[in-house]
Structure 1
Amino acid sequence: MSIRPPAEAYEKVPTVIFPDSAKAAKTLAQEVKQLIETKNKAGKPAVLGMATGSTPVPFYRELIRLHKEEGLSFKNVITFNLDEYYGLSSDHPESYSMFMAEQLFDHIDIPKANINLPSGTVPGDQVFNHCRQYEEKIEASGGIDLQILGIGRTGHIGFNEPGSSRDSLTRRITLDRVTRQDAASDFRGEQNVPHFAITMGVGTILRAKKLVLMAWGENKAVMVAKAVEGPMTEVISASFLQDHPDARFFIDHGASRELTRVKLPWLVGPASWTPRETRRAMVWQAFKIKRPILKLVDEHYNENGLSDLLSEQGPAYQLNIRIFNQLQHTITGWPGGKPDEDDTYRPERARPYPKRCLVFSPEPQDAITGMGGTIDRLVEQGHDVRLIALTSGSLRVPDSEADKFAETLLELASNATNPTTWEPQVAYAREALGLLEAKGEFGEDPPLLRQLKGLILRGELRDAAHTVGLANDRVTFVDLPFYENGRYRRFKSTEEDHKVLVRLLQEHKPHQIYITGDAADPSSVAGICFRLLVAALQSCGGEDFAGSCSVWLYRGKERPLEPHEIDMAIPMSPLQIERKANALSRYGALSSLEKEAPETNRENARLYDALGLAEYEAIETFQRWRRV
């Protein structure tokens, strides 16, 4: 039995933290390459269990690269997929059969006869036999040599939702509400997401010889920690990987943040008491014992494993005051800096004033969701604020919105005093309605419909932006090619995307930039946009503006920043939080997390209040991007 390093003492499954998903994907792909080559030498096929969703996409791209550039052959590989939506045919654009073809199978030399997926169209009275035959086929192949897994927001592997037993087999299952919410963007609305799926069972998965679970981004961090460090439970099917002799987690920094060795490193070994780590420990301690920072005493430090911090930076009262002041200095009503004031302890510099501020919104709702109140404050304080919608967001607009728009056009035309002047609009509306009917509930949107849905969101964003003080001419729509030419979970950035952002930066020469996506899944719209902007800033490194431009990270759909992570906190009055809620109401389709943004802002204020800081109605939070 191997001995775990002390830092990993809380972890019940070996967990490897990679700098990013690309490095993890390369490492895993090399393991697959070695497995295939070893099996070939033994005259046996390599049997791989495959996963779907955005998580394995970097891994599949690396397998394709190995095939095309290094000659790795998949002719002697057999694959079994974890699951499939029940009710979708194999040629449905959101079926996992289609996903695997587009993401991997169509780009390598694997024989079609060697590809196995559950059927989404097997008649209901034949589902049991179909699932049993799937199990038998896995067994007849010699069993799965390496099973690839992701983890859902409910902690599921495959579609083994909460309540799935340790010994469950391949079966039809009802999808959890959270799982369906997470798939809503793929299906253009939660109402279109299938209610059922066929999935390998937990017991089926655990029979694989080796298991590797991948997870990227901070939204997966809580479930990763529960699966790795918590008890084995049917509530989190991924936790059963603790019961496997050769299971591992491959995660990035974002997905690791709730592990004890990352979140509370002083509990597992000597800590390096950097300013950020010190603040993290102090905030954690204050929340744990429910006392404000300034009321912590020596006994609290000793009882919570922080005696080293106290001996190194104490006494307690001076340490409390220092951290309290650091937190206090994050609070400012001047996100663009307060002109003609000493900015020594302010988050943002006073000069220049006014500043040119670029607010980047990966999808049209992100910036209003994450920092609508701060936009309002920047405009009110006289800064040159421009909101840049990087993508059209057309993929998130449900068909019902396009149908409503087309029907409204027809209604207006029918009531016009001179109907002939409306003939082009009538033709456009009828074409849109015809395309909606022709493509059906789940079909691909042709270009006209994507354009129409993008125009609908443009109108909603302009309306929302106006509500927080931005005029129409201060809103720019970029329509980055990676989005316009792609689909969720299938995006791939291009050189043209990079050039567009470089031109934007060179044109506006901003003093301030606001962006989200640093904590997002790297294959998500926000994650791709963030990496593109970072690359564009690096390309502009020689420009005069680049060195002095401050970059602030806000959170949209991702986990909110915790108090120790916050570098700038913008208080919001009751009127401002009301304006932000009104701005969000302008959007026809928001996720549950986006709708909750005002309440998240109120919770930020409650956390600051609990630490002993001033009590506000709500707070929007930001983290300074630190160039590496």
Structure 2
Amino acid sequence: MSSSSSTRSHSEIFEKIPVHVFATPTAAARELAAEVRQLIEYRKAEGRNAVLGLATGSTPVPFYRELIRLHREEGLSFQNVITFNLDEYYGLAPEHPESYARFMAEQLFNHIDIPNENIHIPSGQVPGNQVFVHCREYEEAIEKAGGIDLQILGIGRTGHIGFNEPGSSKESLTRRITLDRITRQDAAGDFRGEQNVPHFAITMGVGTILRGRKLALMAWGENKAGIVARAVEGSVTDTVSASFLQEHPDARFFVDQGAASELVRFKLPWLVGPASWSPAESMRAVCWLSKKLGRPVLKLVDEDYNENGLSDLLSEQGPAYQLNIRIFNRLQNTITGWPGGKPHEDDTYRPERAKPYPKQCLVFSPEPQDAVVAMAGTMERLQDQGNHVYLANLTSGSLRVSDSEADKFAGTLNELAISTDESAAWLPQKAYADEVLRILAEKGEVGEDPELLRRLKALILRGESRDAAQAIHIASSEVSFLDLPFYEKGRYRRFKTTEEDVVAVASLLRQQRPNQIYLTGHSSDPSSVSAMTFSIVMQALQQCMGEDWRSACSIWIYSGKEKPFAPHEIDMAVPMSPTQMERKQRALGRFQQLTSLEVQAPDRDRATARHYDDLGLAQYEAIECFQRWRAA
């Protein structure tokens, strides 16, 4: 256990590793970067090198940007820094768009003054019969440099650090490893399909990592909250390699509020001290108790509260019968078959107001599949109940489309041109198809998609998006594609938004003047498409503040595909019948590039319905759920 555990507050008693929680990833990155600066300057004063272990992926991007800022604006030099990266995909050349060698060059090394000879990254191309020797030499290079002073880490959904998948032992060293299915699913977007993700990687071992003098693990967003809690509060186990950090003398977690949300001090604060029994906290506590005991809310009794750390809640808001009734009614009031509000009805206890009717409903989808995955049934119901639904795809989604889809399209067009008469009318189409096929052949899997190819992939996804919309009764004319510049000019984990993006969304808002807005991404990893588009929409809404439509516009958040809302987090629950679920699945079937998580969306909708059933509410086939946006 960390040596600094004795300094933690009473509220942190369940945490076996110090966890520093920040309002934003940027704030966390700044504090960690300041610590790195102190290390570099201290070692420089000693006439020695500072040795850093570095991580890849989206998590450390804010940290690397802060290091670059310190170099450019405050003169921090990296001349005396030696780095060792945690891992690299096996089989990828350094110039491959998704290699970690290229990632590090683009995200950090090309922007600072570190000597090239001081940079160490495992090779993804070492021949198979030389992998063992290469890994041993990597260990020896770390030892020769004096060992790692500070190791930067991220954490995967399986709890891996580096690529130390479940089953990695505490003593493991640098080696080649087979990637877990979940890890490959998470990387599917980067590689335009799970089938293209490498099956192997070379990674520092857990033992290699634990030899670092200091360890700092970063995690952002609610999607990482569950695994952070397991690593910090659970038992030490090789099924969660990050849990081994509990046994390190100087390991710390740097997390934002989303990633900290499953820790006991935030999730179950009444177990670590006095709680403030707000309506939201009371709802959370009663739902937790119901789930823990496996009994519906209305069957909980006084002893259940007293014996499970909720005596304060009972004394303040009890007896149990009255408290149960209040919570049950609040849960029941979240359920509505009228997500746009039921016209000419009392809306006192309904999630959405009755007026105006019909409503102008603007649904923002970060990539074209996202809104259909999360709320196809709700969009269909809004439309069928007389509201006007406008689906705005914020990005083209072209990065999701595989080369094979473009090849199939171009090949079909070519065959059609050849099988038709040789008239001049078909010459432009054949020339276009030939050019696409030539680009695909020349670029291979390593090359970047030129504009012509990205545009074709965008058009393929546009067709799928319109087909999916029609399956839920939304006309093609009510589907738009903003193709925001940050996406069209970037790649996953390398996006940078500009004012141009915000202006485009603000223009659409003023055109639509919506009564309802649906969007997602409020708690996602900050470098993800959903988080970046959420920020863009919020900035655009701020620009529209004061306009007559803005104050009367309700904003609803739909959950991301990785982490659905729990019942106590839901403000509006829209039930679906078996027939509606069939239509949602047909709409999802229009997309050819869905990830495993997206395909499983109907199962998550059914799981939400089971949660409501377990709490004692009506049984439904499935439920799509939403939170009312409450600005901080």
| 1-structure distance, mates of 2:544, 2:519 | 17
Find out whether 1:578 has 2:607 as its counterpart: no
| 2-structure distance, mates of 1:165, 1:89 | 28
| 1-structure distance, mates of 2:423, 2:24 | 58
CA displacement at 1:332 relative to structure 2: 0.7
CA displacement at 1:419 relative to structure 2: 4.2
| 1-structure distance, mates of 2:282, 2:169 | 42
| 1-structure distance, mates of 2:168, 2:601 | 32
User: 1:117-266 counterparts in 2 under 5 A?
Assistant: 117-266=121-270
2:595 corresponds to: 591
Which of 84, 90, 93 in structure 1 is aligned with 2:97? 93
In structure 2, the residue corresponding to 1:254 is in which secondary structure?
A: coil
Q: Could you tell me which runs of 5 or more consecutive residues in structure 1 were left unpaired when the two chains were aligned.
A: none
Q: Which amino acid aligns with 1:240?
A: F
1:308 corresponds to: 312
Q: Which amino acid aligns with 1:127?
A: V
| 2-structure distance, mates of 1:106, 1:380 | 54
| 1-structure distance, mates of 2:473, 2:191 | 33
CA displacement at 1:416 relative to structure 2: 2.4
Which of 613, 622, 625 in structure 2 is aligned with 1:618? 622
Confirm or deny: 8 A CA contact 2:287 2:297 kept in the other structure.
yes
2:32 corresponds to: 28
2:562 corresponds to: 558
Find out whether 1:6 has 2:10 as its counterpart: yes
1:509 corresponds to: 513
| 2-structure distance, mates of 1:536, 1:23 | 23
- CA displacement 1:430-465 (0-9 Å, x = unmatched): 111111111112421111111111000000000000
Find out whether 1:386 has 2:352 as its counterpart: no
Q: Which amino acid aligns with 1:356?
A: Q
Find out whether 1:275 has 2:279 as its counterpart: yes
- CA displacement 1:1-57 (0-9 Å, x = unmatched): 624211111111000111111111111111111111111111111111100000000
Find out whether 1:49 has 2:40 as its counterpart: no
| 2-structure distance, mates of 1:28, 1:542 | 39
CA displacement at 1:417 relative to structure 2: 4.5
Confirm or deny: 8 A CA contact 1:609 1:615 kept in the other structure.
yes
In structure 1, the residue corresponding to 2:20 is in which secondary structure?
A: strand
Q: Which amino acid aligns with 2:390?
A: R
Runs of 4+ in structure 1 off by over 3 angstroms are none
CA displacement at 1:327 relative to structure 2: 0.4
| 1-structure distance, mates of 2:496, 2:35 | 24
CA displacement at 1:610 relative to structure 2: 1.0
Q: How many residues were matched structurally? A: 628
1:519 corresponds to: 523
User: 1:327-476 counterparts in 2 under 5 A?
Assistant: 327-417=331-421, 419-476=423-480
Which of 489, 492, 497 in structure 2 is aligned with 1:488? 492
| 2-structure distance, mates of 1:549, 1:247 | 46
TM-score of the aligned structures, taking structure 1 as reference length: 0.99
TM-score of the aligned structures, taking structure 2 as reference length: 0.98
Q: Which amino acid aligns with 1:140?
A: K
| 2-structure distance, mates of 1:566, 1:87 | 44
Q: Which amino acid aligns with 2:457?
A: K
In structure 2, the residue corresponding to 1:363 is in which secondary structure?
A: coil
In structure 2, the residue corresponding to 1:16 is in which secondary structure?
A: strand
| 2-structure distance, mates of 1:11, 1:419 | 74
1:112 corresponds to: 116
| 2-structure distance, mates of 1:370, 1:172 | 37
- CA displacement 1:306-344 (0-9 Å, x = unmatched): 111000000111100000000010011111111111111
| 1-structure distance, mates of 2:230, 2:578 | 37
Aligned Cα root-mean-square deviation (Å): 1.0
1:19 corresponds to: 23
- CA displacement 1:389-427 (0-9 Å, x = unmatched): 000000111111111111111122223256431111111
Confirm or deny: 8 A CA contact 2:194 2:595 kept in the other structure.
no
Give % identity: 69
Q: Could you tell me which runs of 5 or more consecutive residues in structure 2 were left unpaired when the two chains were aligned.
A: none
Confirm or deny: 8 A CA contact 2:95 2:446 kept in the other structure.
no
Confirm or deny: 8 A CA contact 2:87 2:204 kept in the other structure.
yes
